[in-house]
Amino acid sequence: MPESRRNIPNIIITGTPGCGKSSHSQSLVDQLNRGFAKETTIKFKHFDVSAFAKEKECLESYDKKLDTHVVDEDKLLDELEPELEKGGAIVDWHCCEIFPERLIDLVVVLRTDNSKLHERLTKRNYKDNKIQENLDCEIMEVILTEARESYIPEIVIELRSDKAEDLDENVDRISAWVENWIKDHPRGVTNELQTVDGEANDSDEDDEDDEDNEDGELVTSGEDEGSYIPDNEEDSDDALASYHESEDPATVEEGLTEQQKYDLEQKEQDDVEVLNEEDEETNDTANTKRMFQSRIYVDYVFFRCY
């Protein structure tokens, strides 16, 4: 069976609702198709995923609380993947992570100032809670983070979409990128999942400090446990506690002078105070992190269902 290939790139235009995804996508398709009008084999198509999902009956249910449909992502991909394999798909949706990386060549994340975003969503008659959810997700960069975690950094770009001039500049910029992509890939690119023969080697960084000894045995640069030897007499007292760290306290105190015992007790007290302070800081940090994770999860669920 011949290898499946595409000769023109697929692009995702994503961002918070109200950032101008549909306007950018349709303008980009129109400009590209005009520019390649003489090339009968090059044809770009705008896929509004929300409309596409309804057309192909890929909706699972309707969420009354969020006032939105829930998309069956598996069914959506079954319908959309054949279109992506042809190439030339301009995919317009607020969610980008579900699309296979092997079929995506560029991800454009549109960003909008919150005041502009609020104005646009108000004109759409969005409810106040829905507007706030969108504003919060834009502030916390939920979609931008999703894009960067789902695709290699080289294909993810962030563009402003605050005014009409931004749309024209962005479309020109993306169109120029498409022209260069086609020139750089005269034979197109494969749609197949790429595999590497054999298992991947460990990172070179893990072994950068290792070396072979005279017998050919691998020796790490780290010091052997318990092998610490003070460089001079002044280091002895400082190293005392760490040197005996794993030993019984009673054994440690044997043979010590009164001053050394006193210093050791003081160090133990100081260590306890430091540990208590670190525990308090860790608890505060953990509580803050849980709060933000909970907030981000709510936003994520909202966008996946939008």
pLDDT tens-digit series, residues 67-106: 677 889 999 999 999 999 999 999 999 999 999 999 999 9
pTM beyond 0.85, yes or no: no
In this prediction, residue 83 carries a pLDDT of 96
Q: Is the dihedral of CA 206, 210, 215, 216 positive or negative?
A: positive
Write down the CATH number for the domain with range 5-192: 3.40.50.300
Least confident range of 26-35, 118-127, 266-275, 281-290? 281-290
18 is in an annotated binding site: yes
Identify the band that residue 22 occupies on the pLDDT scale cut at 50, 70 and 90: very high
20 is in an annotated binding site: yes
Query: Is the pLDDT confidence value at 206 over 50?
Result: no
15 is in an annotated binding site: no
Q: What is the Cα–Cα distance from 37 to 17, expressed in whole angstroms? A: 31
124 is in an annotated binding site: yes
Identify the band that residue 195 occupies on the pLDDT scale cut at 50, 70 and 90: low
Identify the band that residue 240 occupies on the pLDDT scale cut at 50, 70 and 90: very low
- Return the residue matching tokens 């959810």: 133
Q: What is the mean pLDDT of residues 265-278?
A: 73
22 is in an annotated binding site: yes
Q: What is the Cα–Cα distance from 231 to 219, expressed in whole angstroms? A: 23
Other beta carbons within 10 Å of 94: 22
Copy the structure tokens of residue 236.
């002895």
Q: What is the Cα–Cα distance from 263 to 110, expressed in whole angstroms? A: 61
Q: What is the Cα–Cα distance from 27 to 166, expressed in whole angstroms? A: 12
The fraction of the chain above a pLDDT of 70, given in percent, is: 68
23 is in an annotated binding site: yes
DSSP letter at 228 equals -
Identify the band that residue 253 occupies on the pLDDT scale cut at 50, 70 and 90: low
The domain limits of the chain are 5-192, 232-306
